[in-house]
Structure formats: structure tokens, C-alpha cells
Amino acid sequence: MSLNTKSITELRKLLVNREITPLEIINDLEQAITANDRKINAYISYDFDQARKAAASADLSLPLGGIPIGIKDNINTIGQPCTCASQILADSYTSPYDATVITKLKAAGAIPLGRMNMDEFAMGSTTANSSIKITNNPHDLSRSPGGSSGGSAAAVAAHTAIATLGSDTGGSIRQPASHCGIIGLKPSYGRVSRYGLVAFASSLDQIGPCSKTVKDAALILNAICGHDEMDATSLRAETPDFTANLTNGIKGLKLGLPKEYFSDQIDPNITKTLNVAIDILKNAGAEIVNISLPHTQYAVATYYIIAPAEASSNLSRFDGIRYGNRAKQNSNLINLYKDSRSQGFGSEVKRRIILGTYALSSGYDHKYYEKAQKVRTLIRNDFTTAFQTVDAILTPVAPTTAPKHGLNTDNPLKEYLADTCTIAANLAGIPAISVPVGKDESNLPIGIQILAPHLGEDIMLQTAHTLEQNL
């Protein structure tokens, strides 16, 4: 029995019926990782001995009892490295504590297994910005799995993980999920604690699941949501059972199609496939409504002021003194800072720190950062207005399917535009999910994005599950 290919729901049934043990799941995953990860490069590290110890004492009465979960390498797990795929932290930092999401996963019975590769400090959309290794797309090894949670998505698609956690700042869960043909969910901002997540852009970051099914994503979301005193942005919102309404159907729901997301910039193969998925939802009882989100065109520019500005502030602590590897043979303190950061950070991280520092510099903060925040409000207001007439919104996840490795290496702007369909959800703080709906002529996966109002994950998951079951 190939346990590594099964979903959480399937494994939990087998575990509860005592047909398998958690140790058997770990062993099957180890075999799959040993056989396949040298081609995929989804993992940075793993500790099977520790996982086996946890498996031996797993409480199968818990919702995720005995289920191993891969963890993106920017989420702290006690006793494990947390490199953020950066040389500034490589071989120098072992986490002394668990992030809140890890504490919650363990409380639900899950077993953290392995550190997933990513773009350095979550900055990128290909996972090629990792300083450790380049992750390949399981559907075509010559192509990117997307990013920044590329390792998290690729491992689930390659069946070297049952499910994983990623982080999403501008599409970093949803875009690789689409490219790899899996489920990827970004919760509402504040729904999941960010304590223990190494911050990229604090007003945008959210942790969420990558999984094989919508129900699996809902099960993980049940476990990781909830207020946390350690995170000042954590909401005191009740956490419903996200699996409760999955099978209720979508009859009578109004689903919006924003014209700005269905432009000629989207690959025609993607538009054609999405139209089939939209027809499926229509046949399932939903009403399709044309809407407009007029400030969408400013989302990418707004994001690339706000996110780098916050990154510039958040990454200032990685200086070779407070955190990170220290450069050797420095004549003075200024050179120590300069050399440690120059040697430790990759080119994309340096680029974004420079952009952010400039945007926050004296005389320019009002011109750039403050103005970007005002435009962000307009983008959020677009969604607020739209959700007065529709229950959820349907869009592409990405303008193309998975690109070839190195396609936009010399053109960062083209790589930034890969997130043009996903960034607005982060700016507005609303939940969004990528659901696989087909493949293009090259057999590459295509995902559809479902967006819902803030704290509207239940409607979003209900729509996603209906689509999944009818495909």
C-alpha cells in the first residue's frame, strides 16, 4: 500500500480503523523521498528519527493524529534549522521554539516532517532564488514549481509529502499550487498566527496549507486557526469547523467574474480551461455575475512598494551580530555589517531591501509608501463593494502555466508580474484558494482562484469542494 499517495482524509480513516500505523506512513514517505526528492529537490532537510519517535506516541483520537506535515523553511520548529533558504542563516540557526502554527499542529496530533525549500526569505515566484537548491516541477523537471512555497507545493504533487505548510505574501502558496496541480490556501489576514514565521512583509504574510484535497486543507485550517496573544495582528474571531459545510453545495450562490482578471494577458489555454470550470459551477447551481475591480491595475505597483519597505525593516536584524552568519576579517563595525549582509543575502533579497529602504527614506516615504497605502485602501474597497453583490469571486491564479527554469532570470519585472492575479488578495487581507481544474497542451496544471470576503473561508471552501467533486 503506497501510503504516501493518499490524502489526510484517507489516512485518518485507515489509522482510526487500526489498519495502518503512523510509523508505516513515515516509512513510506522516507522511501518516496529517498527515491524521488533528488530529482524534485523539494526538501532542504528532514529528521526521520524524530518523526518516528513522534509517530510511536501519536494520539490517533486527535483530528490530525499520526499525520506527517512538511514545513516551509521560514516557520520555526523547535530543534530544527530555519534557514529561510538563505546563506545568512545556513548552518548557523536552530530554532529554540515552536511557531504557534506548529504548536497547534502538534496539539491536533500532526507530526512535523522536513523543511521545505523556498525562495530566499520568501522573495520570488520560482523557488530559483533559494540559495540552497533549485526545486523542479514534478510535472516537468525543466520547469519551475512556482514560488515562494515551491518546495511545499512540489512535495505534495510528487507524493513526497502528505500535506505541507507554506506562507503567502503575494501569492506564494496559490501560485505554486496552481503550477503543481494541488490545493493551496491563503487564509484571511489575522486568521492564523504569524508568531514564529520569519517575517517578510508583516501586513501581508499569512501561513496556510498545501494539500491534495480541499477537505485536507480544511482539516489543517481547523487546526492552525485561532487567536494568539503572541501575535498583535491575530484576530479574536471564532474558528468554525471548516469541514462542516463542504458538502452543502453552491445552489443560489453568486460568483463574480472580474473583467480585469480575464484580459488578453492571460494565456488562452488558461482562459479556455477556466471557462469549463466556471460552467461546472454554473451547472452546480451558482449564478455567474460579471463584476469590476477597477483598481486591480495598480496592485503590482502598490505591492512592490509596501512589501519591500516592510522587508527592509524586518530584515535589518540579520546583520551578523544579532542574527546570521558573520563575515570574517573585518577592520571595523561598518564593514562587518556590510560584508555580512552582502555575503549572506542573495541578489533578489538585496534588490528588495534596496527598493524598500529607498521607499522609506527621508523625503520619499510620503511620495511612495504613504501613497501606496492609500491605493491599497482603494483596492480593499473594490473587494468590499464587490462582495455586497457576490458571495465569492473567480479568477485565474497565474497568467501562464509553469515557466521554464531561468526564463525571466534577467528580467525581475516579468517575474513580479507572475503574481498579478494573486497580489490583490494579500493587499485586501481576504482569503483565497487555488484549485486545480485541468492541464494545458503541454500537460501542465492550471488552477482557478476562488476569493471570498474577509473571514469567509467557509463559503470559499464550499465552492472549492463543489468544483473539485464535479470535475
Q: What is the pLDDT of residue 407?
A: 84
What would the grid cell of residue 437 be? 481544474
What would the grid cell of residue 244 be? 462542516
Q: What is the pLDDT of residue 237?
A: 94
Q: What is the pLDDT of residue 414?
A: 77
Residue 381 lies in a domain: no
Catalytic annotation present for 172: yes
Structural domain count of the chain: 1
- 133-162 burial by CB neighbour count: b if 16+ within 10 A, else e? bbbbbbbbeebbbbbbbbbbbbbbbbbbbb
Query: What's 366's DSSP letter?
Result: I
Beta-carbon count within 10 A of 240 CB? 14
pLDDT digits (tens, 9 = 90+) for 360-417: 998 888 899 999 999 999 999 999 999 999 999 999 999 999 999 988 777 777 788 8
What would the grid cell of residue 338 be? 556590510
Q: What is the pLDDT of residue 359?
A: 94
What would the grid cell of residue 33 be? 523521498
pLDDT digits (tens, 9 = 90+) for 66-93: 999 999 999 999 999 999 999 999 988 9
Q: What is the pLDDT of residue 248?
A: 95
**3-state class of 138 per DSSP?**
coil
Residue from 28, 45, 38, 210 nearest 116 by CA: 45
Strand-pair category, 68-72 with 111-116: parallel
Residue 324 lies in a domain: yes
DSSP secondary structure letters along 89-103: TTTT-B-SS--HHHH
Residue 330 lies in a domain: yes
Q: What is the pLDDT of residue 456?
A: 98
Residue 345 lies in a domain: yes
Q: Which of 148, 149, 167, 234 is labelled catalytic?
A: 148
Residue 80 lies in a domain: no
Give me the domain span that covers residue 305. 301-367
pLDDT in tens, the chain (471 residues): 699 999 999 999 999 999 999 999 999 999 999 999 999 999 999 999 999 999 999 999 999 999 999 999 999 999 999 999 999 999 889 999 999 999 999 999 999 999 999 999 999 999 999 999 999 999 999 999 999 999 999 999 999 999 999 999 999 999 999 999 999 999 999 999 999 999 999 999 999 999 999 999 999 999 999 999 999 999 999 999 999 999 999 999 999 999 999 988 899 999 999 999 999 999 999 999 999 999 999 999 999 999 999 999 999 999 998 889 999 877 788 898 899 999 999 999 999 999 999 999 988 888 999 999 999 999 999 999 999 999 999 999 999 999 999 887 777 777 888 899 999 999 999 999 999 999 999 999 999 999 999 999 999 999 999 999 999
Q: What is the pLDDT of residue 58?
A: 97
Q: What is the pLDDT of residue 325?
A: 93
Q: Which of 125, 144, 152, 172 is labelled catalytic?
A: 172
d(CA 33, CA 282): 40
**Alpha-carbon Rg for the chain in angstroms:** 21
Residue 352 lies in a domain: yes
Strand-pair category, 68-72 with 164-168: parallel
Q: What is the pLDDT of residue 418?
A: 84
**3-state class of 167 per DSSP?**
strand
Q: Which of 6, 72, 106, 212 is labelled catalytic?
A: 72
d(CA 96, CA 76): 8
d(CA 102, CA 97): 10
Residue 355 lies in a domain: yes
CA distances for 421 relative to 34, 168, 262, 405, angstroms: 36, 13, 10, 21
Amino acid at 457: E
Residue 441 lies in a domain: no
DSSP secondary structure letters along 205-226: -EEEEEESSHHHHHHHHHHHBS
Q: What is the pLDDT of residue 92?
A: 86
